[in-house]
Amino acid sequence: MTDADAPALAVEDLVMELHLRRGVLRPVDGVSFEVGAGETLGIVGESGSGKSMTCLSILRLLPKPAGRIARGSVRVGGVDLTQLSERELARDWRGRRLSMVTQDPMTSLNPVFTIGDQVGSPLRHHRITRTLRETRARAAAALGRVRIPSPERRLDEYPHQFSGGMRQRAVSAMAIACEPQVMIADEPTSNLDVTIQVKMIELYREIQKETGVAIVLITHDMGVAASICDRVAVMYAGRIVEQGPSRAIFRRPAHPYTQALLDSIPRLGARRKRLFALGGQPPDLLDLPRGCRFAARCPKRMARCDEAYPPEFKLPDGHVSACWLSESEAVHAA
């Protein structure tokens, strides 16, 4: 039923609409990307850019009844999830082949159930384990995999007995318990202190090496993206404006928005007196311009930017930029 050569996750021209009283808006508007097994794709962007909505659309966890997938496909190992029924999705995919880690480990864990119950619950739900003993053994193995010491003993503890870093580990253990092909992590380190964050970054690298899981990491922290992702996609107002190998994105950003993001963050060791400050704000999704959505804030705006949204131009170093400035450098229109 699955195609061995297909990427672990392939999202193509995905459009998610929210039907609100004020009108129809598209928080995700024609997003395409692929993630291979053992690969990490980072989705970066500011709040409201659509990065979290993209992930919820992949899992089809949409607000009801306002949200719907209007177009596009989400293929995991070649199977298009948009064609599946809700029942099939819940039974065979969500939490099993496709799992998710959210930002706040305290709200992802139920305070009245033990860690063992919660890490074991996807295993029982998906009928991977049949007996209590089997479930406990698998749950303990998952806790061990996220480097929680003496996991068998920890199974019977409650979330409040875990520290912040340990809770985030336990949530990650839940996500990998069923050995998914794809793990979506939405700001998994944003609430953590740097000395704990660095441990989580190392943990994700190790888990990936051991299990070959494909990871989609959502973050607003360019430092985290640079240290963990193989490839990066930059989102702005519902669209990916630039994507490609991390090195290309961070070293030779082609899109003025990516450049602005990188220039506006203070860097350790850089003695810059003044930061580059981007003016203005992202556009209202209900009142989008005809041309490029970033044009109003863009320091390199040209007349044609207001006329038409730029296509994705493929650059020689393998990355893709949706900006008219990239046209002259493009290998061919992607």
Partner 1 sequence: MLLEARHLVKRFDVGGGLFRRAGQVHAVEDVSFGIEPGRTFALVGESGCGKTTVAKLMLLLERPTAGEVVYRGRAVSGLSGGALTEFRSEVQAVFQDPYSSLNPRLRVGRIVSEPLLVHNRMSGAEARKRVDEALEVVGLPRAAAKLYPHEFSGGQRQRIAIARALALRPKALVLDEPTSALDVSIRAQILNLLSDIQEEFGLAYLIIAHDLALVEHFSHETGVMYLGALVEWGPTQTVFDRPRHPYTQALLASAPHPDPDHPPPGDVIRGEIGSALSPPAGCRFHPRCPHAFAPCDRAEPATTDTGQGAWARCHLLDAGAPAPVRRGEPARAGAAGRPA
Summarize as ranges the residues that interact with partner 1 (CB under 8 A).
46-47, 163-165, 193-199, 201-202, 220-228, 246-247, 250-251, 260-262, 264-270, 272, 274-279, 281
Of 2 and 264, nearer to partner 1 (C-beta) is 264
Of 117 and 317, nearer to partner 1 (C-beta) is 317
Of 153 and 267, nearer to partner 1 (C-beta) is 267
Q: Smallest gap, in angstroms, from Cβ of residue 282 to partner 1?
A: 9
**Number of C-beta neighbours around residue 65 at 10 A:** 7
SS3 27: strand
Of 113 and 276, nearer to partner 1 (C-beta) is 276
153, amino acid identity: R
Beta strands in 6-161 (DSSP E): 9-20, 23-35, 40-44, 67-76, 79-80, 98-101
Q: For residues 100 and 108, is the Cβ–Cβ distance under 8 A? A: no
Tokens of 106: 């305290």
Q: Smallest gap, in angstroms, from Cβ of residue 89 to partner 1?
A: 32
**Number of C-beta neighbours around residue 22 at 10 A:** 8
**Number of C-beta neighbours around residue 190 at 10 A:** 14
Q: Smallest gap, in angstroms, from Cβ of residue 281 to partner 1?
A: 5
Of 197 and 326, nearer to partner 1 (C-beta) is 197
Cis peptide before 151 (omega within 30 of 0): no
Q: Smallest gap, in angstroms, from Cβ of residue 242 to partner 1?
A: 15
Q: Smallest gap, in angstroms, from Cβ of residue 133 to partner 1?
A: 32
Q: For residues 300 and 255, is the Cβ–Cβ distance under 8 A? A: no
Q: Smallest gap, in angstroms, from Cβ of residue 264 to partner 1?
A: 4
- For residues 263 and 259, give the distance between their C-alpha atoms in angstroms, rounded to a whole number: 6
Of 120 and 165, nearer to partner 1 (C-beta) is 165
